[in-house]
Every structure is written in C-alpha cells, then in structure tokens.
Copies of this chain bind each other. A is one copy, B any other.
Amino acid sequence: MIIKAAIVDDNSFLISAVKEKLSFFTDIEVKFSAVNGSDLLDHLNDNHNLDIILMDIEMPVLNGIEATEIVKQKYPHIKIIILTVFDNDENIFNAIKAGADGYLLKEVNPRDLYEGIVETLNGGAAMNPSIAFKTLKLLRNPIQIENKVEQESIALTKREIEVLEQLSKGLSYNAIADNLIVSNGTIRKHIENIYKKLQVHNKLEAVQKAKRNNLI
C-alpha cells in the first residue's frame, strides 16, 4: 500500500528538499504540502485521507505545535512527525505533549526519514538519537516538565464543578441528579452552562478541557 503523506513548512525550498528525499521511495506519495498550520487545516478539511504529516514548527499564523494539537484532536488517525531545525527542550516537550509521534531534525538523511515514517506507521516513534536523549532527560527530571502553557482560569461555579466531577466518572444525568438530589432538568441546565463556558459540545470534551485547566 502506498503511504499518503503531506508536508507542512513555510519555506518552499525546504518542502522541495523533503520531497526530494522522499522521491527515492516509491511507496510514499506526497499528496499535498501546506505553508502553515492554518493552510494545513484547510487541506484536511477537504480531504483527511492521509497517513502521515511531516510538520515544521516555526511557521506564521498557526505554528507546528498548535497545528499538531488540533490535527491530533480532530483526526487522531493521522500520524505526525515534527521535522525541524530546532531541538531545544521546550519545543520537543511541547511537541510531544501536543501529540507528535516523532521528532526528526531537518538534516536527517533520506533513509532515516523513510524508516522513521514506516516505523511510525507501524506503531513506533521516529526519533533522532539526540532527540531521544533529550526525552530521556525529560523523563528523568519531571520537575522541568511543568505545564508551560498559560491558562486564564475559566470561572465555573461550585455547583458546576460538582456536576462536572460526577460527569467525569461516567454517570448519567439521572444518576447525577439522584446523587445531588435535584431534578434531571437542573443537571441538564448546569451541563448546558458548563458546555457554554468551556466551549465544548459533549461530555468527553468537557472532561478533557476541565482536566487540562485543573478544574477537576
């Protein structure tokens, strides 16, 4: 089966360089390229029948980390390998947190790039040895793994938090109503308000977002 790939990079010269590297391998087809995260999302909106994305980090409009987070949320079946010149801890850690399946440096040779892609599609992860070393360091020192992201706390009421906590356990509206000794309708309204505040549309997204924001 032919591997369907896409390349995202704001430097068209570098896109060509990657295409060139991949051109040696007949079982990989570059379906399209995008010049930034936003452009990528547009493409995916049309067609997300894709196996893997090779993603740069430094890009205008929507950078590679942000784009990775969105793509992984919406199209979890697509693998993403970060392909960049920067190998600082913060980029690596944030990329991994965002859900990247691999992290290679642009200087990678064609064979390693190809093998990285294949290994990633086989459930492994593509990593440069120097990147691997940094991830090991990060694992050893969880201290420096603090959440870099700034979050302006979302104002949920006490009762809403209670409801959210029960939601997160997988309880039904009726069970929650029963637990908190109010009507089903009340729970429904609370949840409606919670969804509005969190800007989500179902239980799982609400629980995810609440956890990311340390609300529960």
Contact = CB atoms under 8 A, between A and B. Distances in A.
A180 interface: yes
Contacts of A96: 136, 139-140
A200 interface: yes
Contact of A139 (B75, B139, B181): B139
A60 interface: no
B179 A75 contact: yes
Contacts of A125: 129-130, 132-133, 135-136
A204 interface: yes
A53 to B, nearest CB: 14
Contact of A181 (B49, B202, B208): B49
A139 B145 contact: yes
A185 interface: no
Contacts of A75: 179
B76 A179 contact: yes
B76 A169 contact: yes
Interface stretch (A15-23, A28-36, A115-123): A115-123
Interface of A: 48-49, 72-77, 93, 96-97, 99-102, 116, 119-120, 122-130, 132-133, 135-136, 138-140, 142, 145, 162, 165-172, 175, 178-181, 200, 202-205, 207-208
